[in-house]
Structure 1
Amino acid sequence: MKIGIDKIGFYTTPLYLDLTELAQARGVDPNKYLIGIGQEKQAVIPPTQDIVTMGANAADRILTDEDRKQISTIIVATESGIDNSKAAAIYVKELLQLDPFVRAVEVKEACYSGTAALQFARGLISLNPDEKVLIIAADIARYGLETSGEVTQGGGAIAMMISAEPRVLAIDGPSVPYSEDVMDFWRPLYASEALVDGKYSTSVYIDFFQKTWERYQTLTDQTLSDMAAMIFHLPFTKMGKKALDAILGDQNDPHSVLMRTQLAASQALSRQVGNLYTGSLYLALLSLLTRSHNLQSGDRIGLFSYGSGAQGEFFTGILQADFKEMVRQADVEKLIMARKQVSVPEYERLFRAQIGYNSKNVFLDLSQDHEKYVLQGQQDQKRVYLIQ
């Protein structure tokens, strides 16, 4: 029985910051951002959106009434949790008006947990093939204004319907997980911004990729020539290039050229929205499927998932016959093209306007947010959501 991604959808807010303008405001050569880390634009998150509303907005784009009836489990993968006890999935389930007889949980391990949710979903469906699992990977990447990590911020959500006989990508085995206790990135409970050792994190990322990729080859006897594309978790797009270069070196044969072309296709959306944390790998998948002209049914895609702290996993998937029809390229392009640019001062104002970690009553101005699902504010230490 095939199990994998039957539908995949994406949401990010209607606001973005041009990184050339940010570079100029910070007194930095724009090429440090545009070329050095490979980013052009960055999603700006208004205070009326958080992981719950972005997750619901992403899921709403792909769900039909029939889908909603078949969902047995909803898993939210995030490292931007809004409560240390209550799962964000509970809020998302209510906004989506799903049946109450649904399992709802939240999972965490930095940027990796979307993949953990996918593997958990595969196990559930193998036991109950008629059920479907909704995975939402939603995050807001925050490092702080005028910090070294500011240019690798961003936000948004990926929603994936996992089912038997999927129409996008059937996940193949085996997968290779690898973990170590590493302090390359963390966010203490008292902090809304992450702490990171950037150079160390990059080296750990590449090391984990090489370890999992080498073990995968040993277990399967497959090589790079068996892959139609290799995609990566992309906290910034240059990271994917560094990982691919670690195994390609300076090779320039036709398949190596193809791998680099496919990588560029997978980077396109991340270059426009920035870091999605748990959703980043799957945004790369969506970008590949909507931007590449070199894919066909039956192709094997290699996926490397990574979360600081640290956990990596390499696995593969097989493209299915209907993948082109199911990725809804027009919807993705419309979302990206309809966004409005904000100035650096406006971005800074919105950054500071987040509810954050406090017990105050907050009533947000919804007049500028026309999305279906919004955060109305906080009252009596409870977040209040609204369907518009």
Structure 2
Amino acid sequence: MAQIGIDKMSFFSPHQYIDMTELANARNEEPGKYLIGIGQTQQAVVPPTQDVVTMAVNAADQILTPAEREEIDTIIFATESGIDNSKSAAVYAQRLLGLSPYARTIEMKQACYAGTYGLMQARDYVALHPGAKVLVMASDIARYGLHTPGEVTQGAGAVAMLVTENPRILTINRDNQFMSRDVMDFWRPVYAEEALVDGKYSAEVYREFFRDLWARYKEKTGLAIDDFKAFAFHLPFTKMGLKALRDILPEADEAKQALLLTEFEASRVYNKRIGNLYTGSVYLSLYSLLENSTTLTAGDRLGIFSYGSGAEGEFYSVELQPNFRDGLVTGQMDQLFDSREYMTIPDYEENFMAGLHGATDREFDITKDPAKFVLAGLKDQQRVYLAH
């Protein structure tokens, strides 16, 4: 059977951010609660000129060649921040990216988990259609509301992944273990713009799912913690993944524990500065691990834990390929962080109330947004997307 996996990866997040120390001070909280207890230092802020579609295409546009735009025949868009209850966000992405009209386009939803399901569907599709190429995009805006307990775990961004045979970055093993259960730890009714969450309960369910799936994975595969070089976790906030990792560390000796903790730190470098991006969170963590680890080599097995509230979880492994960093965009994250604009808390609060609320026609000032693809406004209840 052909080796199938992620050939290229790319990331995008808006050009503005707030500082978590300043947010803590504005909310009369000790900064350590956010910086250490939650594990976040900065948070991406979404201007009115960006949404899940523009973020996804801004990410994907950086990795696709003209030939690949013609060859891609399936476009999978994972999000829980959809812009339409009927029309798939993938259709907008297809047009904006100049992809072949002879492609399937679909949007998937199951909280933060949908990106993983999309990735597995892409893997299985390529297995059945040799030579096929599938574009998977996971794009989201984590939004809880001002002065809410979840405010510190907001964020936004998009990960784009090209799935092919003989991939440059990694192959996806067929050892997936998954589970679902009807749990009310997080949800967003169709009438609400902000999510509802029972934070403490959700954290407990997350760790419970991980422990259950890890035990099942070991039973089904015969593998153990020593067979893994590192783990990438879904990180709604980065301390969450650390707690889950600590649950299984006693299975390893001291040297292995130290190694896994070091690799975990590499895996959360970017998430600490972006915040939560729901469906793309675990893949930003993977991206961070690939770029910031100093010890990863070809053939290393990595464990991936994906979780979506409500709830669904999946654990699987991947294997790194020779020259795996060649499938990443060189300098992408450094450029993003170096060019981001600092935003004060009052400006962030004003921005939070802006955007497309309701059906009234309006235009946005796109001159202040440096991204290639932007949302220019609303006309006749249709979103106006532009490339500039």
Give the TM-score of the pair, scaled to structure 1.
Answer: 0.98
Superposed, 1:148-187 pairs within 5 Å as 148-187=149-188
Greater displacement, 297-306 / 335-344: 335-344
Please give the secondary structure, in 2, of the residue aligned with 1:204: helix
Question: What is the rounded CA distance, in whole Å, between the counterparts of 1:360 and 1:16 in structure 2?
Answer: 28
- Paired residues for 1:151-300 under 5 Å: 151-249=152-250, 253-300=254-301
Mapped to 1, the partners of 2:252 and 2:175 lie a distance apart of 27
Question: Partners in 1 of 2:133 and 2:361 — Cα distance?
Answer: 38
How far apart are 1:123 and its partner, in Å? 1.4
1:17 matched residue in structure 2: 18
- Alpha-carbon RMSD across the aligned residues, in angstroms, is 1.0
- 1:131 paired with 2:119, answer no
Deviation at residue 332 of structure 1 after TM alignment:
1.8
Shift in alpha-carbon separation, 1:252–1:222, aligned structure 2, 3 A: closer
Partner of 1:309: 310
Unmatched 5+ stretches in structure 2? none
Pair 1:381-2:384 in alignment: no
Deviations 1:152-206 (CA, angstroms, capped at 9, x unpaired)? 0000000000011111010002100110000000000001100000010001000
Contact 1:14 1:338 survives alignment (8 Å): yes
Q: Which residue type is aligned with residue 240 of structure 2? A: M
Contact 2:18–2:45 (8 Å) recurs in 1: yes
2:364 paired residue number = 364
* Structure 1 runs not aligned, ≥5 long: none
2:18·2:43 contact (CA, 8 Å) conserved in 1? Answer: yes
Q: How far apart are the structure 1 equivalents of 2:90 and 2:35?
A: 35
Does the CA-based 8 Å contact 1:290-1:329 persist in structure 2? no
The CA distance in 1 between the partners of 2:251 and 2:273, in whole Å, is 28
SS in 1 for 2:91: helix
Counterpart-to-counterpart distance in 1, 2:260 and 2:67: 38
User: What is the Cα deviation at residue 250 of structure 1?
Assistant: 9.5
Q: 2-side partners of 1:362 and 1:194: how far apart?
A: 25
Are the equivalent residues in 1 in contact too, given 2:71–2:100 (CA < 8 A)?
no
Residue type at the aligned position of 1:371: A
Query: Using the alignment, how far apart are the partners of 1:270 and 1:152 within structure 2?
Result: 11
Partner-residue secondary structure (3-state), 1:334: helix
For residues 48-91 of structure 1, what are the alpha-carbon distances to aligned partners after superposition, in whole Å with 9 as ceiling and x for unaligned?
Answer: 00000000000011111121121011111000000001000001
Shift of 1:321: 0.6
Cα distance in 2 for residues equivalent to 1:94 and 1:140: 22
Inter-partner Cα distance in structure 1 for 2:253 and 2:341: 40
Question: In 1, distance between residues paired with 2:366 and 2:189?
Answer: 30
Q: Compute the TM-score of the two structures, normalised by the length of structure 2.
A: 0.98
Offset from partner CA, 1:7-29 (integer Å, 9 cap, x none): 00000011010111111111111
Give the letter aligned to residue 191 of structure 2: Y
Displacement over 6 Å in runs of 4+: none
How many residue pairs end up in the alignment? 387
Superimposed CA distance per residue, residues 109-155 of structure 1 (whole angstroms, 9 cap, x where no aligned partner): 00000000011111110111211000000000000001000000000
